[in-house]
Structure formats: C-alpha cells, structure tokens
C-alpha cells in the first residue's frame, strides 16, 4: 500500500527538523525560511509526494519532529492518517482534580504552622510548631516567595501537600496585608 507525505508550506516555520530526520525528502529553501518537499506535486501551498518503503520510518520521524504539524503521512488507499495514529499515544493525559481532605490528609512529621498578619509591624508571621501549640521558629516577611522559601531552606517542612498548602496560605496572608483585609487561616479572604 502506497504511503504519501503531505507538507503544508503555510504552516512551516523553517526550523529544519524534517531535514535532519529525512534529508532525502526534505531540504530548506535558499534563505532557510521554509522546507521544500523534494519531487512533489503542489496545490495551494500543499505539497504531496509518494514515500519509498525503505524511507517510511525517516519520513514518519520528520512528521513527528515537526513542531507545527506541517507534515502529514497517510495511506493512499485507505486515507488513514498514519502519523496522527502514532501521535495519539503521546496525547496529554487529562485528569480531573479530586481530593478528600478528611480521608486523604496526612500530618507532616515535622509539625504544622500558625499563620497570622501582624498589622502593627506590617508583616506576615509564620510560626512553626514541632509540638502541639508550641511555636519553635517564626519566619516573617511580606513577600510570599521569600517566606515559604525560608521555611523550606530551614527544613521546617517535609510533606509536599503541606508545602503547597503553606504556599497558598502565605499568599493569602500577604494579599490580606497589602489590601488591609482580614486574614483567618484556612478561611477564604473577604473581598468586600
Ligand atoms: S520540521 Fe516542520 S516547521 Fe520545521 S522545516 Fe520541517 S516542515 Fe517546516
């Protein structure tokens, strides 16, 4: 069964991946801005050529390497799109976000944090408790990145979910400080 390669010049951005993968089929034009499909027939900037059996893998690779999908390979008899069948295997997996805090929550072995906005000192304070209600380290600041990176550098956190939670709460606290809003840990910000 004959396989055809179709090259769309309008889509091409001329990065040359196809030339590297299948030099017997593709070359760049004189100024390097577009590919040329050798020995092809053209209609409306779409070029078509028949693929020799022993070059099929090279041309398939060229199509896969094209960043803008300017190259298509299909079976001339069935019209089946060969490369898109292969590409489907690499399709991005979409996962609906789900999490049950009651069932899945895991306590961080290194402790927990008490977060507050200190309006008098105009800063956010993050207290680490290694034991129940006993703050052993307090990190303060006004920049979320600086605060949570200091927490990480001081090795006060271990659990990734906990780190994500802390980042979100520190961001909320800093936003509350900046806009003079009420901050209560774990509550949504009141944006009146
Ligand atoms: S890989 Fe695609 S974009 Fe790059 S030159 Fe070839 S056809 Fe054009």
Q: How confident is the model at residue 191 (pLDDT cuts 50, 70, 90)?
A: low
pTM over 0.75: no
**Residue bearing the bigger pLDDT, 87 or 134:** 134
21 touches ligand 1 (CB under 6 Å): no
pLDDT at 82: 82
The CA-CA-CA angle for residues 114, 120, 125, to 5°, reads: 20
pLDDT at 78 (0 to 100): 87
Kindly tell me if the per-residue pLDDT of 91 is higher than 70. no
In 102-121, which positions are buried (b, 16+ CB within 10 angstroms) versus exposed (e)?
Answer: eeeeeebeebbbebbbeeee
CA distances, 100 to each of 83, 103, 104, 159 (Å): 40, 6, 6, 17
* Percent of the chain whose pLDDT exceeds 90: 81
Q: What is the mean pLDDT of residues 29-51?
A: 94
Q: Quick one: pLDDT at residue 87?
A: 47
The predicted pLDDT at position 90 comes to: 54
Q: For ligand 1, is residue 27 a contact (CB within 6 Å)?
A: no
Query: What pLDDT does 152 receive?
Result: 95
Percent of the chain whose predicted confidence (pLDDT) is above 70: 94
**Statement: residue 178 has pLDDT above 80:** yes
CATH for 3-90 is 3.30.70.20
Contacts with 38 (C-beta within 8 Å, 6 or more apart), sequence order: 24, 25, 26, 27, 49
Where are the chain's structural domains?
A: 3-90, 101-178
- How many whole angstroms from 59 Cα to the centroid of ligand 1? 12
Is any atom of ligand 1 closer than 6 Å to the C-beta of 18?
yes
C-beta of 5 in contact with ligand 1 (< 6 A): no
Per-residue pLDDT, 93: 79
Region of poorest pLDDT, from 14-18, 60-64, 86-90, 163-167: 86-90
Pocket test for ligand 1, best of 7, 11, 12 (most atoms within 8 A of CB): 12
Per-residue confidence (pLDDT) for residue 187, from 0 to 100: 94
For residue 33, is pLDDT > 80?
A: yes
Mutation to probe ligand 1, out of 11, 14, 59, 60 (largest number of atoms < 8 A from CB): 14
pLDDT in tens, 116-127: 999 999 999 999
Q: Would you say the CB of residue 66 lies under 6 angstroms from ligand 1?
A: yes
Q: What is the model's pLDDT at position 192?
A: 60
What is residue 83's predicted lDDT score, i.e. its pLDDT? Answer: 74
């Amino acid at each position: 069964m004959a396989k055809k390669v179709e090259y769309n010049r309008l889509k091409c951005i001329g990065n040359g991946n196809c030339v590297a993968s299948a030099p017997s089929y593709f070359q760049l034009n004189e100024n390097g801005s577009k590919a040329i499909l050798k020995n092809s027939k053209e209609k409306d900037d779409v070029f078509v050529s028949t693929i020799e059996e022993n070059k099929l893998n090279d041309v398939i690779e060229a199509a896969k390497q094209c960043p803008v999908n300017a190259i298509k390979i299909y079976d001339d008899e069935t019209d089946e799109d060969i490369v898109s069948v292969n590409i489907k295997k690499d399709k991005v997996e979409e996962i609906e976000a789900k999490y049950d805090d009651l069932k899945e929550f895991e306590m961080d072995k290194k402790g927990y944090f008490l977060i507050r906005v200190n309006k008098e000192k105009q800063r956010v304070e993050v207290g680490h408790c290694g034991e129940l209600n006993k703050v052993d380290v307090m990190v303060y600041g006004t920049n979320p990145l600086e605060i949570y990176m200091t927490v990480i550098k001081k090795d006060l956190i271990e659990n990734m979910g906990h780190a994500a939670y802390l980042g979100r709460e520190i961001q909320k606290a800093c936003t509350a400080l900046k806009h003079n809003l009420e901050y209560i840990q774990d509550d949504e910000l009141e944006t009146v």
